[in-house]
């Protein structure tokens, strides 16, 4: 088995902490500079491409665009390095519905106005399976060997979530929505942001171990920390905010591609009109005489580069934006938590064997260390798929984020590989035999995590407000790393430039 640890350019990024590199000798003029080529930056650039006639520069640190939605290509399939699906967008996210219509993800409407999705992009059945008691079962909620009482408790939880999904707050808005800021402001519910999800579950009498494992799994999956790390409001949001409609799919379905959300990155990239500068580290952004000076350096050569911009959109996480802005950054990013992640892509000669249910899109191990794996080429229509790529996700939540990040940054490829194999071997004794290659990415700052007290503290709103000619667009301004949040924030930032 071979492989490497690939990006992201942590070492380059850390130069921001050290002394400032020399100032550029030349300033290129640009009407708009977008810093950050993830979903938010791309969405902003695409919005500008509609009407804006000025020149736009998009600067990205990495060699590839996409941020958490970046992707890679193996012989068998494209594969994601991070985000890999989008739930069906609901009424509160018309921007995403419009995007899906434009990209042909939604192909029309049925007579009752429900969107018809392109079948190829809807997650193919079987969606999920869970390995417990030595066998694979269908679905992620533990069933095998689970007592009737414990199963009833899971049903009670799901019924409760269904009620919440259909409920509105005193202001008439849905209790939980995507994007987050379109949720009800009802204080009775927002107050739940101050306690942990596990506190709420204990109080509500949801204590069965199988159910609690499942809920913990879901929180780790979306936020990088378990039920005792995230706020109760965020935990409930995970279960009660999703549920867009479709004419040809149930509301729990998601859309996905072999590249994961990298497919969306590519579609957005095709639709922008901007000079894209990759491998460039922006280290300073400041307003000066009615213009904005953007200072950067080439990540490879160290050469200083600079832009003299009319407007700037910082589509980067707030802790990075704070460093770029220096003193003007104020307390930006304080209290925001980004747990580290490990993502591994395993090129396999054939799917590993296992007892019970056949392979699904998402394959999870009960009480496993990681979150299991997704089969990247699950959406292929060939009836017999042999070679494949398994994308394995592991939130490094065994220690506090800072400590776990420091530890993981010292791992060699062999150490990281063994962590992955040890976890998967329990379900697949032959995993090492079928794996030809394993590439690993350690995300030092993975996704923002909605820890208690963060979402409705008012800090997000402050940070999202434009400062002079500098605007902000990133999913961490929503407190959740979701495609919809990043995309809508990018679109809104783009629109603000146009007006």
Partner 1 sequence: MNERTTRLLLLASVFVIATCGLIYELIAGTLASYLLGDSVLQFSTVIGVYLFAMGVGSWLSGFVSRGEARLFVQVQFLIGLVGGGSAAALFVLFTQVNAFRPVLYGLIFLIGTLVGLEIPLLLRILKDRLEFKDLVARVFTFDYIGALLASLLFPLVLVPHLGLVRSSFLFGMLNVVVGILTARVLRLTGPWATATVSGGAVLFAVLLAGFVAADRFTSWSERNTYPDPIIHAFSSPYQRIVLTRGGGDLRLHLNGNLQFSSRDEYRYHESLVHPGLSRMTGAKRVLVLGGGDGLAVREVLKYPGVEQVQLVDLDPAMTRLFTGLPILTNLNFGALSSPKVRVENADAFTWLAAAGPEAKYDFVIVDFPDPSNFSLGKLYSTAFYRRLRTVLAPGGAVVIQCTSPLVARRAFWCIDGTLRETGFLTRPYHVYVPSFGEWGFILASTDPLPTELSLPDGLKFLSASTVRGLFEFPPDMDRVVVEVNRLNNQALVRYFEEDWAKVR
Which spans of this chain sit near partner 1 (rule: CB under 8 A)? 119-120, 122-126, 248-250, 253, 358, 381-386
Q: To the nearest whole angstrom, how small is the minimum distance from the Cβ of residue 428 to partner 1?
A: 19
Q: To the nearest whole angstrom, how small is the minimum distance from the Cβ of residue 154 to partner 1?
A: 21
Q: To the nearest whole angstrom, how small is the minimum distance from the Cβ of residue 357 to partner 1?
A: 10
Q: To the nearest whole angstrom, how small is the minimum distance from the Cβ of residue 123 to partner 1?
A: 6
In this structure, what DSSP letter does residue 159 have? Answer: H
Closest among 365, 222, 282 to 24, alpha carbons compared: 282
- Parallel, antiparallel, or unpaired: how do β-strands 362-365 and 373-375 relate? antiparallel
Q: What phi, psi does 221 have (nearest 5°)?
A: -65, -45
Q: To the nearest whole angstrom, how small is the minimum distance from the Cβ of residue 140 to partner 1?
A: 17
Q: To the nearest whole angstrom, how small is the minimum distance from the Cβ of residue 162 to partner 1?
A: 20
**With 0-12 CB in 10 A as exposed, 13-18 as middle and 19+ as buried, what is 2?**
exposed
Long-range contacts for 5-9 (Cβ within 8 Å, ≥24 apart)? Answer: 5/411, 5/412, 5/413, 5/416, 5/439, 5/440, 5/441, 5/442, 6/72, 6/439, 6/440, 6/441, 7/62, 7/63, 7/441, 8/61, 8/62, 8/441, 8/443, 8/444, 9/61, 9/62, 9/281, 9/299
Q: How many CB atoms lie under 10 A from the CB of residue 408?
A: 22
Q: Residue 130 or 480: which CB sits closer to partner 1?
A: 130
With residue 153 as reference, give the H or E element that holds it: helix 148-166
In this structure, what DSSP letter does residue 286 have? Answer: E
Q: Residue 180 or 348: which CB sits closer to partner 1?
A: 348
Q: Residue 249 or 477: which CB sits closer to partner 1?
A: 249
Q: Residue 227 or 363: which CB sits closer to partner 1?
A: 363
User: With contact defined as beta carbons under 8 Å apart, do 41 and 315 qualify?
Assistant: yes
Q: To the nearest whole angstrom, how small is the minimum distance from the Cβ of residue 116 to partner 1?
A: 11
Q: Residue 293 or 378: which CB sits closer to partner 1?
A: 378
Q: Residue 148 or 381: which CB sits closer to partner 1?
A: 381
User: With contact defined as beta carbons under 8 Å apart, do 369 and 394 qualify?
Assistant: yes
What's the token pair of residue 250? 């149930």
Q: Residue 300 or 386: which CB sits closer to partner 1?
A: 386
Q: To the nearest whole angstrom, how small is the minimum distance from the Cβ of residue 104 to partner 1?
A: 14
Closest among 46, 135, 82, 104 to 313, alpha carbons compared: 46
Q: Residue 100 or 472: which CB sits closer to partner 1?
A: 100
Q: Helix H segments across 394-441?
A: 401-409, 413-425, 431-434
d(CA 496, CA 388): 43
Q: To the nearest whole angstrom, how small is the minimum distance from the Cβ of residue 362 to partner 1?
A: 14
User: With contact defined as beta carbons under 8 Å apart, do 217 and 364 qualify?
Assistant: yes
d(CA 72, CA 7): 12
DSSP E strands, 328-412: 341-348, 362-365, 373-375, 388-395
CA 25 distance to own-chain centroid? 37
Q: Residue 248 or 275: which CB sits closer to partner 1?
A: 248
d(CA 497, CA 261): 26
User: With contact defined as beta carbons under 8 Å apart, do 183 and 175 qualify?
Assistant: yes
Q: Residue 425 or 436: which CB sits closer to partner 1?
A: 436
Q: To the nearest whole angstrom, how small is the minimum distance from the Cβ of residue 124 to partner 1?
A: 5
User: With contact defined as beta carbons under 8 Å apart, do 118 and 107 qualify?
Assistant: yes
Q: Residue 258 or 395: which CB sits closer to partner 1?
A: 258
Q: To the nearest whole angstrom, how small is the minimum distance from the Cβ of residue 117 to partner 1?
A: 8
Q: To the nearest whole angstrom, how small is the minimum distance from the Cβ of residue 266 to partner 1?
A: 20
Q: Residue 75 or 410: which CB sits closer to partner 1?
A: 75
> Tokens 């990759």 correspond to what residue?
278
What's the token pair of residue 152? 């009833």
């Amino acid at each position: 088995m071979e492989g490497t640890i690939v990006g992201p350019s942590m070492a380059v990024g850390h130069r921001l902490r050290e002394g400032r590199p020399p100032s550029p000798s030349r300033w290129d003029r640009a009407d708009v500079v977008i810093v950050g080529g993830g979903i938010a930056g791309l969405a902003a650039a695409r919005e500008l491409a509609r009407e804006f006639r000025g020149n736009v520069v998009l600067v990205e640190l990495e060699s590839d665009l996409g941020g958490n939605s970046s992707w890679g290509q193996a012989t068998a399939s494209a594969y994601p390095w991070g985000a890999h699906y989008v739930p069906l967008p609901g009424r509160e996210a018309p921007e995403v519905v419009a995007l899906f219509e434009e990209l042909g993800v939604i192909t029309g409407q049925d007579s009752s106005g429900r969107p018809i999705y392109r079948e190829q992009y809807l997650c193919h059945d079987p969606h999920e399976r869970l390995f417990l008691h030595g066998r694979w079962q269908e679905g992620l909620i533990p069933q095998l060997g689970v007592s009737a009482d414990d199963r009833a408790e899971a049903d009670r939880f799901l019924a409760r979530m269904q009620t919440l999904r259909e409920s509105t707050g005193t202001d008439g808005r849905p209790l939980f929505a995507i994007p987050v800021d379109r949720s009800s402001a009802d204080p009775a519910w927002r107050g739940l942001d101050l306690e942990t999800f596990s506190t709420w579950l204990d109080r509500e009498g949801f204590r069965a171990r199988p159910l609690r494992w499942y809920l913990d799994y879901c929180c780790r999956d979306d936020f990088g920390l378990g039920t005792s790390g995230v706020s109760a409001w965020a935990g409930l949001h995970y279960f009660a905010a999703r549920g867009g409609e479709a004419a040809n799919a149930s509301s729990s379905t998601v859309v996905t591609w072999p590249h994961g959300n990298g497919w969306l990155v590519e579609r957005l990239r095709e639709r922008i009109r901007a000079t894209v500068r990759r491998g460039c580290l922006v280290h300073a952004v400041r307003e000066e005489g009615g213009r904005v000076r953007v200072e950067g350096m080439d990540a490879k050569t160290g050469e200083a580069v600079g832009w003299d911009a009319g407007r700037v959109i910082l589509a980067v996480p707030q802790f990075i934006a704070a460093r770029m802005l220096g003193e003007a950054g104020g307390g930006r990013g304080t209290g925001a938590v980004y747990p580290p992640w490990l993502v591994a892509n395993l090129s396999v000669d054939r799917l590993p064997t296992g007892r019970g249910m056949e392979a699904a899109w998402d394959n999870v191990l009960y009480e496993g260390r990681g979150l299991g794996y997704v089969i990247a080429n699950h959406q292929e229509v060939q009836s017999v798929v042999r070679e494949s790529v398994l994308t394995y996700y592991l939130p490094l939540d065994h220690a506090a984020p800072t400590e776990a990040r420091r530890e993981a940054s010292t791992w060699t490829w062999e150490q990281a590989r063994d962590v992955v194999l040890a976890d998967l071997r329990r379900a697949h004794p032959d995993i090492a035999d079928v794996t030809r290659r394993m590439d690993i990415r350690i995300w030092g700052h993975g996704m923002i995590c909605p820890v208690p007290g963060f979402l409705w503290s008012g800090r997000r709103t402050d940070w999202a407000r434009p400062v002079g000619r500098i605007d902000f667009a990133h999913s961490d301004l929503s407190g959740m790393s979701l495609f919809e949040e990043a995309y809508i924030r990018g679109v809104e930032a783009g629109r603000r430039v146009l007006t």
